[in-house]
């Protein structure tokens, strides 16, 4: 089981997920008598992807079985979006590849339909699976927030597809989505209050509220929901660049060894999700320090903070047909940008404003 919380509003999209997979026993527990028990299996399993389509950039979260067709579920999704078999090392683990996976890179609609079709091909004995897409799609000369949900019920072949309206009215321009079913009514009310109390566009405050909610669930269900979290932020293109943050309960370390096998240095490490774009596919990896990765141009550059920026900072802007001079800021925390107003639609008189 898992918990994935997705929050979207006209200033940006944020998704926070835990990184724990568990194993369910097939026999009753002789001590407690419970028919099924869960034990932690992998505390750092990946349940999130970032996909850059030809007309959109989205974060993808999934909950359900940890493996599909003998592949980890995130790896299975990445392969379907890439359009062919993933590049691999000799030991079989996925590796980085620069270059297109397909001759013509598809749009977000094609990517969603592809996953829906592939899910319907799986055997009906598969347990329930949910996939949520949240991000930004090109719309006229701007970009609009999107949220799409694929759900396949247990022992059924059909896949239900639901998506948010094309344009969000001002009174309904905040969206929440949960995978897991652990958020109670009281927890949802408390989360909503924290979100309303946060400054507009302060994604650090939004992130903290979502992370606290998941960790509270983790204390009550430690074998089903983990406390090591992954946060993916995709702001509106005028407010910054997409970024990924690993949120552990304690620092994770990696050791540098010399030829004799002796430790020469111990560094704090972070973890990245799948990054899939027209120019490269970047599998989950250990990160030391900050990394800047362009999954559009196919380049990578090191930085010096616990952030992982994904996609070119001008990608959404060029996607929407704007000139570079229109970018207001590239500050990832967005706290200094909350007072800026951006018009939506064709003109400044559009009814949608963040």
Of the pLDDT bands very low, low, confident and very high (cuts 50, 70, 90), residue 308 is very low
Sign of the CA dihedral with 67 first, then 73, 75, and 79 last: positive
The answer as to whether 340 is a domain residue is no
Domain assignment of residue 258, yes or no: yes
Q: Is 185 a residue whose pLDDT tops 80? A: yes
**If you average pLDDT over residues 296-321, what whole number do you get?**
42
In a domain, 300, yes or no: yes
Handedness of CA 294, 322, 304, 242 (dihedral sign): negative
Binned at pLDDT 50, 70 and 90, residue 13 comes out as very high
pLDDT in tens, 315-333: 444 444 443 333 333 334 3
Q: How confident is the model at residue 44 (pLDDT cuts 50, 70, 90)?
A: low
Q: Which pair of tokens denotes residue 57?
A: 């950039």
Q: Is the pLDDT of residue 214 over 60?
A: yes
Q: Would 106 be classed as within a structural domain?
A: yes
How much is the pLDDT for 216? 93
Query: Is residue 34 included in any domain, yes or no?
Result: yes
Total tally of structural domains belonging to the chain: 1
The answer to whether residue 333 is domain-embedded is no
Q: Where are the alpha helices (DSSP H) in 53-107?
A: 73-82
Domain with 90, as residue range(s), is 4-326
What average pLDDT does the segment 18-39 reach? 64
CATH number, domain with residue 199: 3.60.20.10
pLDDT, mean of residues 30-52 = 69
| Residue 94 DSSP code | B
Between residues 242 and 102, the one the model is more confident about: 242
3-state secondary structure of 260: coil
Residue 335 lies in a domain: no
100-156 pLDDT, tens digit per residue, is 667 778 889 999 999 999 999 999 888 899 999 999 988 877 788 899 999 999 888
Q: Report in angstroms the alpha-carbon separations of 148 from 134, 181, 202, 259.
A: 7, 18, 24, 49
In a domain, 343, yes or no: no
| Average pLDDT across the chain, whole number | 76
């Amino acid at each position: 089981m898992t918990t994935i919380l997705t929050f979207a509003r006209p200033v940006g999209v944020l998704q926070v997920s835990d990184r724990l997979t568990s194993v369910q026993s097939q026999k009753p527990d002789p001590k407690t008598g419970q028919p099924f028990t869960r034990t932690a299996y992998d505390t750092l399993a990946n349940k999130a992807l970032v996909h850059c389509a030809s007309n959109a950039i989205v974060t993808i979260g999934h909950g359900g079985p940890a493996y599909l067709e003998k592949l980890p579920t995130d790896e299975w999704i990445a392969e379907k979006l890439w359009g062919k078999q993933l590049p691999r090392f000799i030991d079989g683990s996925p590796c980085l590849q620069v270059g297109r996976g397909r001759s013509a890179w598809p749009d977000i609609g094609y990517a969603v339909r592809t996953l829906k079709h592939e899910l319907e091909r799986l055997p009906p004995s598969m347990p329930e699976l949910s996939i949520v897409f949240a991000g930004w799609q090109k719309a006229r000369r701007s970009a609009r927030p999107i949220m799409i949900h694929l759900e396949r019920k247990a022992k059924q072949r059909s896949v239900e597809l639901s998506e948010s309206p094309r344009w969000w009215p001002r009174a309904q321009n905040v969206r929440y989505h949960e995978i897991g079913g652990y958020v109670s009514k009281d927890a949802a009310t408390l989360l909503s209050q924290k979100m309303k109390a946060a400054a507009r566009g302060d994604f650090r405050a939004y992130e903290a509220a979502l992370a606290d909610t998941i960790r509270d669930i983790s204390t009550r269900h430690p074998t089903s929901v983990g406390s090591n979290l992954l946060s993916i932020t995709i702001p509106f293109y005028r407010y910054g660049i997409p970024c990924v943050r690993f949120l552990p309960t304690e620092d994770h370390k990696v050791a540098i060894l010399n030829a004799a096998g002796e430790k020469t240095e111990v560094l704090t490490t972070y973890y990245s999700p799948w990054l899939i774009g027209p120019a490269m596919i970047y599998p989950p990896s250990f990160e030391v320090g900050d990394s800047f990765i362009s999954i559009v141009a196919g380049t990578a550059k090191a930085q010096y903070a616990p952030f992982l920026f994904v996609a070119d900072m001008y990608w959404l802007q060029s996607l929407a047909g704007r000139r570079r001079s229109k970018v207001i800021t590239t500050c990832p925390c967005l706290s200094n940008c909350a007072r800026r107003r951006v018009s939506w639609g064709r003109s400044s008189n559009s009814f949608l404003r963040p």
